[in-house]
């Protein structure tokens, strides 16, 4: 199952078609993604046998974020060894968690206004919480996730790193700094949910690549650790960290500039595309 939103309404997505969940289910499920995900198991069962006769053509550019305005957005710093190394840290023994404030979450395509400072890219797998819960055992953790999507953890490095100690959450929460999409994909559609290849391209240059099997704390481990502290709510997002190749660790550093186009691709999910303007 692949799902997303169109005009803030939950839709199922196929290659060239979308199906409005609320309409096709005759009101059984609400149009709001967070509300519908509260009954994720029921929704997933229905989606597997939904009648697509009322489907409409997919205009790609119209898709919004898979979950608009999630209640909680978790993010992990230094979850890939080469990125920890390029940032000058040894791999952490506990995941270093911060938030991207939910108002920064936006859809898969569009133009993002560059604030003053040094804006950097970070391609990341984003897990979308389904039913959620508290104290989720690692062995059951994938069952708490509705699907995975693509995200960019855009970051303004001056605000992030100028102070001592540095701060993460605010510097990663400017308007548009959390693009996600184009769809969330259930893990049964993936060859291996723990080993997904991905690439980030800036203009015509590949700047990051990796596989999610290289994470220090894999998705199931993150879900178990986070849910020991916070109740995971339907539609919450977990940004799972980025590999090496970000701009501020390059020599010389490189940051996003007006006119740049950033494309982030994951096998089996698709791609998101942002352009940047002053």
| Contacts with Zn ion, residue ranges (CB under 5 A) | 122, 153, 242
User: At a CB cut-off of 8 Å and minimum separation 6, what does 163 contact?
Assistant: none
CA 85 to chain centre: 23
- CA angle in degrees (0–180, nearest 5) for 37-187-148: 60
Whose Cβ is closer to Zn ion: residue 153's or residue 236's?
Answer: 153
Whose Cβ is closer to Zn ion: residue 48's or residue 253's?
Answer: 253
Whose Cβ is closer to Zn ion: residue 4's or residue 243's?
Answer: 243
226, 73 in Cβ contact below 8 A? Answer: no
Whose Cβ is closer to Zn ion: residue 52's or residue 89's?
Answer: 89
- Residues 106 and 112: their CA atoms lie apart, in Å, by 10
DSSP 92: P
CB of 173 to Zn ion, least distance (A): 12
Whose Cβ is closer to Zn ion: residue 5's or residue 208's?
Answer: 208
CB of 39 to Zn ion, least distance (A): 31
Peptide bond between residue 244 and the one before it cis (omega within 30 degrees of 0): no
CB of 77 to Zn ion, least distance (A): 6
Alpha helix stretches (DSSP H) within 28-139 = 33-37, 40-48, 81-86
CB of 157 to Zn ion, least distance (A): 12
Whose Cβ is closer to Zn ion: residue 64's or residue 95's?
Answer: 95
H/E/C letters for each residue in 196-211? CEEEEEECCEEEEEEE
Whose Cβ is closer to Zn ion: residue 13's or residue 123's?
Answer: 123
Q: Look-up: residue for tokens 């040894």?
A: 90
CB of 106 to Zn ion, least distance (A): 16
CB of 181 to Zn ion, least distance (A): 17
CB count, 10 Å around CB of 203? 11
CB of 80 to Zn ion, least distance (A): 10
Whose Cβ is closer to Zn ion: residue 36's or residue 159's?
Answer: 159
CB of 91 to Zn ion, least distance (A): 15
- Residues 144 and 272: their CA atoms lie apart, in Å, by 25
- Residues 114 and 275: their CA atoms lie apart, in Å, by 10
Question: Which residue number is nearest to Zn ion in terms of Cβ?
Answer: 153
244, 151 in Cβ contact below 8 A? Answer: no
CA 93 to chain centre: 23
């Amino acid at each position: 199952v692949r799902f997303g939103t169109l005009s803030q309404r939950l839709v199922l997505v196929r290659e060239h078609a979308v199906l409005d969940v609320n309409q096709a289910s005759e009101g059984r499920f609400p149009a709001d993604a967070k509300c519908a995900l509260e009954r994720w198991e029921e929704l997933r069962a229905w989606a597997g046998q939904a009648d697509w006769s009322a489907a409409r053509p997919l205009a790609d550019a119209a898709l919004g974020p898979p979950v608009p305005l999630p209640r909680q957005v978790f993010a992990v710093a230094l979850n890939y060894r080469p990125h920890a190394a390029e940032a000058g840290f040894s791999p952490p023994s506990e995941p270093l968690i911060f938030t991207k404030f939910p108002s920064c979450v936006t859809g898969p395509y569009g133009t993002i206004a560059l604030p003053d400072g040094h804006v950097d890219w970070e391609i990341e797998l984003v897990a979308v919480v389904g039913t959620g819960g508290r104290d989720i055992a690692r062995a059951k953790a994938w069952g708490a996730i509705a699907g995975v999507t693509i995200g960019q953890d855009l970051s303004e490095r001056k605000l992030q790193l100028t102070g001592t100690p540095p701060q993460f959450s605010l510097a990663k929460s400017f308007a548009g700094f959390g693009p996600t999409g184009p769809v969330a994909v259930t893990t049964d559609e993936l060859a291996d949910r723990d080993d997904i290849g991905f690439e980030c391209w800036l203009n015509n240059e590949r700047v990051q690549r990796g596989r999610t099997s290289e994470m220090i704390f894999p998705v199931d481990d993150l879900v178990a650790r986070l849910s020991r502290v916070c109740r995971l709510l339907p539609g919450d997002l977990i940004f799972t960290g980025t590999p090496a190749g970000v701009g501020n660790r390059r020599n010389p550093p490189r940051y996003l500039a007006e006119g740049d186009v950033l494309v982030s691709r994951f096998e089996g999910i698709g791609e998101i595309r942002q352009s940047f303007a002053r």
